[in-house]
A and B are shown apart, each in its own frame.
Chain A
Amino acid sequence: MAHTLGEKPNIRPYIMVFVALMTLTLITVAVSYLHLPTMEAIALALLIATVKASLVACYFMHLMTERKLILWTLLLSAVFFFFVLVIPTMTAGNPITL
């Protein structure tokens, strides 16, 4: 929001986010070669991915300055998304063997 036609948007944050995304990509690849224990490796990789995704959503997708209606819509989606992700845990104790 707050962007009006004819005015040059400030592109500095986009370049900074770009540099941050590249750096985080290098870090996540480098870490994967360290062969950390499974749980640590998963936690770290997902943490880095979440930070990268948040940068894309907040800056490139302008969620930092977006209207409440859009944010509420996304919050609702996020709730359902996490609900769907939790469904597989209901099978715990009954492992699939393939």
Chain B
Amino acid sequence: MWPFKKKETEATVLRKLLSIRMEAIGGQGANSAGKILAEAAVLGMGYAGNHFSSFGSEKRGSPVRSFVRVSTENKPVRTASYIKHPDILVVFHESLLDSHNEITDGATASTELIINSKKDPQNIRLPYGLKLKRVTTIDATTVALKSKCGLNAVMLAAIVEACPEIKKEKLAQTLTSYFSGLSEIVRKNNLDGFEAAFKYIKSHRFSEDQCNREIQTSPLPEMGWINAPIGGVIINPGNSALKDHSASRKGYAPLFTKELCYNCGFCDMVCPDYCFVWDLDPTGAKAPALQGIDYQYCKGCQKCVTVCPVSALTLTLESEIPEESKMHRVFSNLNAENIEKQWKKLSLPTYAEKISKNGDFK
């Protein structure tokens, strides 16, 4: 077997039906990326295809999935459903792997992963020990900041690199026409970002025995018709505290310098995400003292920075925030380990066994 030759052949064989799933947070441009990619395939390359995205409400910060199907044989693409087992899985932010671990749902050993990360492909750890045949990383956040372009323009470069089905020039053309309503500078930045991105792409192909053969399935949510309280009631309110919104930040976050702070409380007054951590004396004898920021919740809006009278809060590149600043928690008495255990008790292995035995799986 000649590995090089094999690799070459694999890269040039066109898939009859190419399926791509993008996983992102609203505002990162996954919907546009899907649209541009599909348009390049359908109107640019003349293939049959479809594209759609699954939305929550129309806001930044909620999970968005974008789906593209392309038939290189030009068979009408009729299936309207989500793509469960994608050929290519695109993840717009590495932190989604932790905060939204369902994003790898349905990936198979033959799925290729493209992920926005500074890491080398060999160092990407996927949920549930998933191992895929090819992993591509690109530090899209940095490239996008540098080129002043959308994250999606950079991610599209990595996707085209992985899809011999779609020609780079066709995609560049579609990218230009897609932004035709916007200013010259926006169009140029996006095109430049797209072109520049190629040299930052890092790919690694794993040997077959390194890949999982089983289809990965995320743990299903714990509640179903047997145990979900009737009426759709949520009986453990406040549980949104478990959520992680780090992926909403766009590269910057406020940095707190305790020495400069005189605890005026202005930041707390204006923070929409309630992420300031205070040392409170229950007797009220000692004045509240600000300890830090809970970055699990901070979405990086910087309102606190604008009201801080003494520059105890400053705009900082996220990568420059020291680890010790990230230790503060709004709910210090939130016993993470305990909750983890309680939720884990219901997670995949035992749960899937149970329901498959009951014959109620689906």
Q: Does B bind A?
A: no
